[in-house]
Amino acid sequence: MATLRDIKRRIKSVKNTQQITKAMKMVSAAKLRRAQEDIISARPYAEKIKGLVTALARRVMPESNEFLSKADRGRIELVLFVSDRGLCGGFNTNLIKKAEKFVEENPSAKINYYLVGRRAHEYYKRRGVNIVKTHSMGIARPSYGFAREIAEDLIKDYRKDRTDEVYIIYSEFRSALSQRPVIERILPLATEEKEEEERTENILFEPSEEEVLAELLPRYVEFQVYRALLETSASEHGARMTAMDSATRNAGEMIDRLTLDFNRARQAAITKELMEIISGAEALKG
């Protein structure tokens, strides 16, 4: 049975942990507010440029641009966005599971991994997969320059015929309690999907539709990567805030149980001492 000193030491330890989880929750809440503002601002542009390039791609010949069609030889570059740090519940695990499921659904494909976030590198570095490149998410807010750097790597691999398709896996932010892992193909452009139609029928493009599309497509890839970074960042902060809130509540419940155990143990010790005093007094009378 634990002594009073052991229980008291454990209560102190849990209280210290509770202070840490509470502080982490507050930090994540502040970061989440900024990340949420960023992603809400970026989503309309991301959807608009995607709808525009898709509508333009339907008006030109697929052979007119290398980003629209390519011979399928089963080579896929999978870009996985996760976090650098843990303590965010099942956030990273769910994204890695999404990637593993994609691999299982494409058993004949040769998959190369482009990893963004240290947790992904820690998971895959001992699993014998082909890792093209790794990046750290960093502690600052995602920048467009970082997204451009990643997009340039992906476009270079695609143009130099190192891959046939490029997919991105990221966590779509819905709320602090809900994040959904999604997978999207960004190269070649999926024109067969039902996207929101852009009204381009009566628009005159200069110098030509093909040249405008050639200029827009790299920007489209850059911004889809940028959106994935923003979504992942917001989702990470939301998941960590929720996890730390749950940990803080659990610590409070544990403190209550330990305090009850401490009071019971102290009461038992006091009762035992009283019984010993009474027994000694009765012995002296006899």
The pLDDT tens digits of the residues spanning 178-219 come to 999 999 999 998 765 544 455 556 677 778 778 888 888 999
Q: Enumerate the H helices of the chain as residue ranges.
A: 4-57, 91-105, 118-124, 144-159, 209-285
Q: Tell me the CATH number at 165.
A: 3.40.1380.10
Residue 262, domain member (yes or no): no
Residue 263, domain member (yes or no): no
Residue 255, domain member (yes or no): no
Rounded Cα–Cα distance for residues 205 and 211 (Å):
9
Residue 13, domain member (yes or no): no
**Positions marked catalytic:** 88
* pLDDT, tens digit (0-9, with 9 covering 90-100), for 237-276: 999 999 999 999 999 999 999 999 999 988 888 888 888 8
**Burial category of 51 from C-beta neighbours within 10 Å (exposed 0-12, middle 13-18, buried 19 and up):** middle
Q: Is the CB of residue 151 less than 8 Å from the CB of residue 225?
A: yes
Amino acid at 42: A
Residue 31, domain member (yes or no): yes
- Provide the domain limits for residue 50: 22-243
Residue 10, domain member (yes or no): no
Mean pLDDT by 10 residues, the chain (286 residues): 85 95 94 93 91 85 79 89 93 96 94 96 93 91 94 94 95 92 91 54 73 89 96 95 95 94 88 82 74
pTM for this structure? Answer: 0.87
CA dihedral 211, 215, 218, 224 (to 10 degrees): -110
Q: How many folded domains does the chain comprise?
A: 1
Residue 53, domain member (yes or no): yes
Residue 178, domain member (yes or no): yes
Backbone torsion region of residue 252, taken as left when φ is above 0, otherwise alpha when ψ lies between -120 and 50, otherwise beta? alpha
